[in-house]
Structure 1
Amino acid sequence: MRNPSRTMLYSAAGIATAFILVVAVNIIAGALYVRGDLTADRVFTLSDSTKKIISEINAPVHIRFYYSKNNPQTPGNIKSFASRVEDLLEEYRMASHGVLKIEKLDPAPYSDAEDSATMEGIESQLLSSGERIYCGMSISCLDKSQNLPFLSPQKENLLEYEITRAIWDVTHDVRKTVGVISALPVLGMNKVQPTAESIASGKFAPPGPWIPFKELEDTYEIRKIPLDAESIGSDINLLLLVQPVGMSAKCMLAVDQYLLRGGRLIVMLDPVSLYSIVKSATDPSYRETVSCNLPAFLNAWGIKFNNNIVVADMTFATRIDMPQTKITYPSILDITSKGINRSNTVTALLEKIGLVFAGFFEFTEGATLKKEVLIHSTADSMPVSSFLANRPEMLVRNFSPSGKVFDMAVILRGDFKTAFPDAGKNLLRKSISSNSAVVLVADTDFLFNDVCVQFSKDQFGRKFYVRKNDNVSFLHNLVGYLSGDNTMINIRGRQTITRPFLRIGALKSKSEQEYKNKILDLEKDLIQTQEKINNLQKENSGRYSKYVFSPEQQTELRKFQEKSVAARKELKNLRKGLYGSIDRIENTLKWLNISLVPAIVIIVGLSWAAAVRRRSSSK
């Protein structure tokens, strides 16, 4: 028989030992920095590009992280975010082997740290209590410095890129130069007529560069080249042509000779520019920039491009939820991995590209250049007239898959020949067989702010933006790739840690294909029936005869109303069928997420209890 006092002594000793072990493990874990990354793409681990940049640093780099750590008013989400920033900085420190000097400062009111934060351009944020808090970073090397004025939790997925870009910038003296020729104000507007309201408010400022180009300015020297330029400087490392409508003959010849000198081009042509359509409502001059083509260049390169045709793709179609319905836009594309080249460095890590009214490129017979496709449609696509681009219902109704894949972004390599063989004495070079390259993209709207970013305000009222897709990274990767600077590509690609539900996306596409014609026909009948009811009511809307119908009219009206009710009911059932299977999958996933972990804990607990019981009974 067991001694009760001895059993109690053993139990107390066991509890004390367990407590000491827990405390010891926590102390050791706090002293040692141990971190594991079990995510599929290792999104919480420094990228190889960051490690490479750090390994090439020759002088000490000082990183000062300003964070109001001891301020009790600091919001909880900022505290948890700042903790993750500190973890990331520790990763940087360990990877640098002492080259990165990291300092953590708490800028309390009237402290030296607050003065230092102000001098280094770190922005304070005003709380509702009236207190100010800081969460920013300064990075310096020798006499160069960069600051990240405020680190926002909403842009956490870009944190590594921002820090590494700043480190790269302070450790490199020479920036590469990127020239831009465009009929669109991608680099901002210098001459804009202010309105009376803006003058009265005193807040007039010309629109700045589009976000993708504004971010390019952080790494490259961006130079605007006019559409009538007569030469392209030899110091231009890369040239971008973005919807270059109205480019003069001399400018086209200068671009041609730049390419044949060994230069590299990114050419973006749009059959339907959404930006130009929007702007033309208030400025008719933008009607000229809606569509663009460069036949002289494309013919010389063996490329066909019809600027009156856009690509419609049901697999990549954008689906917009409206209050009373859901609209499918086959010509506004969210291109996922099915349409992205995974073997090229530029696009290998990109997850989603958004294109609006994009065209496509084809090789002509006898073309000699080598083509590598970066972005393409699926076989569930068709070419459609640009006139139909913004008519989604008509597109869906008449959609008939062509079975062909259309190339919307390609790289050309090989022996380029002049596009102007008859230029005479102005032609210095006729061909080149070096490492020149041209990237063609059949869209420009993917760089338009409304397509690539979403603006919002944080809890402090600061305006910020988040990326909707990988469009910004696509441009920056292209620029880095063609300018010979690939170091940042793998970091830009680490945009998001969300993983899409591919089966749900495929089910939506399949369901819409199945139900689309039925729904559209019913919606059309419903609209026609409602119009007939309205017309009957208008005929009897006089002062003395309002809604007084003849027996024949009453019969006809009742028939239309019954038809309307029946159509609405059938339409409702069809939509239930369309989205019911999707809801079932989503609910199944939700309940699996809710119940799986508790079920595992219960199973482990019961197994452990059973094992203890068997061990006790054996004694």
Structure 2
Amino acid sequence: MKRILYSGTGLLLIAVLFLAFNMASGLLLTGVRLDLTQNKLYSISAGTRQILAELKEPLDLNFYFSNSEAKELAPLRSYAVRVQELLKVYEQESAGKIRLHVIDPLPFSEEEDKAGAFGLEALALGQGGAPVFFGLAGTDAQNNAQVIPFFAPDQEELLEYDISRLIQTLAHPQRPVLGLLSSLPANGGFDVRTQRKTEPWAILRELRQEYDLKELKTDTRDIPGDVDVLVLLHPKKLSQPTLYAIDQFVLRGGRLLAFVDPYSEQDSGEEYFGVQSKDKSSGLEPLFKAWGLHLQPGKVLGDNLYALFDSAKEGEPALPRPFTIGVPQAAMSQEDPSTSGLEFIALSTAGILEPVAGASSQFTALLSTSDSAKPFEADRFDKPADQQQALRDLAQPGQRYVIAARVQGPVKSAFAEGIDGRKDGLKQAQQVNLLVVADTDLLSDRMWLGTEDINGRTAPRPWADNASFVLNALDNLAGSDALNSLRSRGPYSRPFVVVERLRREAETSFRAKRLALEESLEEAEAKLQQLQGASPKSQSLSAEQQATVRQFMQEKSRIRKELREVQYQLNADIDQLGRNLKIVNIALMPLLVSLCMLLVWAVRYLRRKHATSRKAALAAGSPAA
């Protein structure tokens, strides 16, 4: 046997067996996966499995990626492999209900025409390169279609959510029902002050295109059972029966998106005996307290860092508007589908949301101010002089505040004993899903929508992501519990934490020494230049001066050498860590595997030897040792 193994024929046989093993494993073990990543990034979650298990009809997923046109885009190709592998997992876990088709739409081909017909976007990513398709189109048995126009690599954390949302939308194509309860003229009306008719807000037009919108009266005593998501817009002075109806809607599993405000600029105010009320606030304090959050009453936010500016007149500087805030991406939650990927949201006279201490629910911030924000009394907004004082106050240190938040988890009813005539309501819920925004003005057209001239025709142009935020939030709330359980799976890029720590420690340790050496070097060079410039060009340096020059040159050389040594030491620990990792990967791991194999061989050898001795003892008729 040994002679065969060491012969040329034996080596050829081993190579053939090795290739055969790889081919067999590739064909037979394609569905076998072992995800050892910290956040299980390459496995689908329980929520996705539930969505797949509830599929009643087969769905076709057409994955379009211009593989031929993306040869020079290595990062995009790598991400495309990641998307394709995840889609294969969907196909495998669906028990035949998902049929995956991977398509490379070549230029001027029929596949390219189909991709465009689906609404997929072809983007030119490389310099001078051809447009690249990288999207997904799903269809059901009735040829209804849903698409992901383009898989943005910077949105990888929401990859599973986006795919699962597409599948769920195909499986349940009926439009969700939104119930709108509003104290503001969002649907248009008649402005008494200007004596003119007002048009509906653009955000309402957007909602009607995506959802079945059902308007509710502000004195409603019951939320209809077919309402999937309840939208509260400036819920002002609601009666107890209406508050109870909202409470029961949430406890029975209804989703809520509430826009409250300490000072709503869109509120024209109520008239009492011909006198207009100055109260423009709204809130749900009894319900908020039961749900685990609190809106600071009568407080509006000013932000020194995120304040927007008024359009400057010609020759005059633009002035900041302290109570109008532009929230950038850095102050939005990138782990929540409602805000992830958005870039800018504009708000005005926004309020402050806080979690209630000891609440059973979970409070998650979605929109925040900068750390240079301060609260102000709401009545200061109407006074220009006070706004100038607010700018001066904002110059002092502030802190960060929460403007919008998601509340989830178990809650109790705000009406534990019920109300008059209604004592048999629900007392608690194990899981609620609410979004609360402490501003109503962000929905008005002026806070997100502008106009532009296109071929002599005026067309609306969004300049902020306010509408996208609302649509994302409603889209998320209208989804199933399984879909809502899909949050960001954690970061996909794993930074070298140890390396960064070593670099920071080294920089801190050597910074003072390096600065001292650089100062000494500058001082030596200055003295050297002073000495060389003190002697006229026609005269040579004296022996003493030449000795001093040599001394300074040597000092300069010594300092430069020490600086190089300091720079070397900055990376010495990191280089040593790299060498240690190489030793572990190249030498130590094979050594450990070899030792394990030797240990296994030794155990087996001792067992065989013991078994042989026992057999020999039994054959000799003596008891076993």
Q: Deviations over 1:250-307 (max 9, x none)?
A: xx8556446558864737465657xx6xxx6xx8979989843346867999998641
Determine whether 1:117 maps to 2:112.
no
Distance change (3 Å), C-alpha of 1:124 and 1:613: closer
Structure 2 counterparts to residues 72-471 of structure 1, below 5 A: 75-126=73-124, 129=128, 131-143=130-142, 144-182=144-182, 208=203, 221=211, 223=213, 225=215, 234-238=224-228, 240-242=230-232, 244=234, 246=236, 254=242, 256-257=244-245, 259=247, 264=254, 266=256, 268=258, 270=260, 291-294=281-284, 306-308=296-298, 358-360=352-354, 372-375=360-363, 386-387=376-377, 394=396, 396=398, 412-414=411-413, 416=415, 429-434=421-426, 443-444=437-438
State the Cα RMSD in Å.
6.3
Whether the 8 Å CA contact 1:61–1:100 is kept in 2: the answer is yes
**Alignment check: 8 A CA contact 2:62 2:103 kept:** yes
The residue type equivalent to 2:154 in the other structure is: Q
Distance (whole Å) between structure 2 residues aligned to residue 25 and residue 134 of structure 1: 36
Letter in 1 for 2:50: K
CA distance in 2, matches of 1:302, 1:93: 41
1: distance between equivalents of 2:117 and 2:406? 51
Match for 1:161: what amino acid?
Answer: Y
Q: In 2 relative to 1, CA 151–613 (structure 1 residues): closer, same or farther, beyond 3 Å?
A: closer
Amino acid of the structure 1 residue aligned with 2:80? A
Question: What is the percentage of aligned positions where both structures have the same residue?
Answer: 22
Q: Shift in Å at residue 319 of structure 1?
A: 10
Please tell me whether the aligned partners of residues 234 and 261 of structure 2 are also in contact (alpha carbons under 8 angstroms): no
User: Displacement, 1:95?
Assistant: 0.9
The C-alpha deviation readout for 1:297-325, integer Å capped at 9, x for no partner, is 6799999864135899xxxx9999xxxxx
In structure 1, C-alpha distance between the alignment counterparts of 2:11 and 2:304, rounded to whole Å: 59
Contact 1:371 1:410 in 2 (8 A): no
Aligned length: 424
Q: CA deviation at 1:471?
A: 11
1:488 is matched by which residue type in structure 2?
L
**Farther off after superposition, 254-263 or 117-126:** 254-263
* TM superposition shift of 1:47: 0.7
TM alignment of 1:455-534, pairs within 5 A:
485-494=480-489, 496-497=491-492
Q: In structure 2, which of residues 69, 72, 97 is the aligned counterpart of residue 71 of structure 1?
A: 69
Residue 592 of structure 1 and its aligned partner are, at CA, apart by 7.5
Q: How far 1:159 sits from its partner (Å)?
A: 1.8
SS of residue in 1 equivalent to 2:167: helix
TM-fit CA distance, 1:46:
0.6
Larger Rg: 2
Cα separation, partners in 2 of 1:413 and 1:93, compared to 1, 3 Å: same
Q: Which runs of 5+ in 1 are unaligned?
A: 1-5, 192-204, 321-328, 341-345, 347-353, 364-369, 400-405, 422-428, 450-462, 504-586, 615-619
Distance 1:612 1:122, change over 3 A: closer
User: Cα distance 1:18–1:183, how it changes in 2: closer, same or farther (>3 A)?
Assistant: farther
Going from structure 1 to structure 2, the CA distance change for 1:171 and 1:238 (only over 3 Å counts) comes to closer
Deviations 1:535-568 (A, max 9, x none): xxxxxxxxxxxxxxxxxxxxxxxxxxxxxxxxxx
Q: Deviations over 1:113-142 (max 9, x none)?
A: 223223323232346546333222111221
Distance 1:122 1:169 in 2: 17
Deviation of 1:62 after TM superposition, in Å, equals 1.1
Instruction: Report the TM-score, using the length of structure 2 for normalisation.
Output: 0.50
- The Cα of 1:48 is off from its aligned counterpart by 1.0
Distance 1:293 1:394 in 2: 30
Write out per-residue CA displacement over residues 428-485 of structure 1, whole angstroms, 9 at most, x where no aligned residue: x544422676877764369979xxxxxxxxxxxxx99999xx99998777665xxxx3
Residue 170 of structure 1 aligns to which amino acid in structure 2?
L
Q: Distance in 2 between matches of 1:60 and 1:151?
A: 23
1:100: how far off? 1.2
Per the alignment, residue 602 of structure 1 pairs with 583
> Structure 2 CA distance, aligned partners of 1:431 and 1:611?
70
Matches of 1:387 and 1:304, distance apart in 2: 17
Separation (CA, whole Å) in 2 of partners of 1:178 and 1:498: 38
Contact map agreement 1:361 1:407 (CA 8 A) in 2? no
What is the alpha-carbon distance in structure 1 between the residues aligned to residue 593 and residue 61 of structure 2?
A: 53
In the TM superposition, residue 42 of structure 1 has moved relative to its aligned partner by 0.7
Q: 1:269 to 1:417 in 2, by over 3 A?
A: farther
Cα distance change on mapping 1:297 and 1:172 into 2, 3 Å: closer
> Secondary structure of the residue that 1:225 maps to in structure 2?
strand
Alignment check: 8 A CA contact 1:53 1:168 kept: yes
What amino acid is the match of 1:172? Answer: H
Seen in structure 2, the aligned counterparts of structure 1 residues 359 and 444 have a Cα distance that, compared at 3 Å, is: closer
1:491 match: secondary structure: coil
Q: 1:99 to 1:297 in 2, by over 3 A?
A: closer
Kept in 1: contact 2:291–2:361 (CA 8 A): no
Which residue identity does 2:85 align to in structure 1?
Answer: D
How far off its partner does 1:232 sit? Answer: 6.1
Distance 2:594 2:482 in 1: 59
Q: Write the distance in 1 (CA, Å) between the matches of 2:24 and 2:464.
A: 40
What SS does the corresponding residue of 2:79 show, helix, strand or coil? helix
Q: C-alpha distance in 1, partners of 2:305/2:497?
A: 15
The amino acid that maps onto 1:293 is G
* Counterpart residue type for residue 481 of structure 2: N
CA contact (8 A) 1:260 1:418 kept: no
Residues 128-164 of structure 1 show CA distances to partners (whole Å, capped at 9, x for unaligned) of 5463332221112211321222222222222211111
**1:388-420 CA distance string (max 9 Å, x none):** 9996664659x9xxxxxx998886424737998
Question: Secondary structure, in 3 states, of the residue corresponding to 2:224?
Answer: coil
User: 2: distance between equivalents of 1:500 and 1:180?
Assistant: 45
Which amino acid is the alignment partner of residue 483 of structure 2? M
Change in Cα spacing, 1:233 to 1:257, as seen in structure 2 (3 Å) is closer
Describe the SS at the equivalent of 2:55. coil
The CA distance in 2 between the partners of 1:171 and 1:448, in whole Å, is 33
Distance 2:289 2:129 in 1: 65
| CA distance in structure 2 between the aligned counterparts of 1:72 and 1:258, rounded to whole angstroms | 52
Relative to the length of structure 1, the TM-score reads 0.50
C-alpha separation in 1, matches of 2:162 and 2:406: 32
Q: Which runs of 5+ in 2 are unaligned?
A: 190-199, 270-276, 307-324, 338-344, 366-370, 379-389, 444-461, 499-568, 596-625
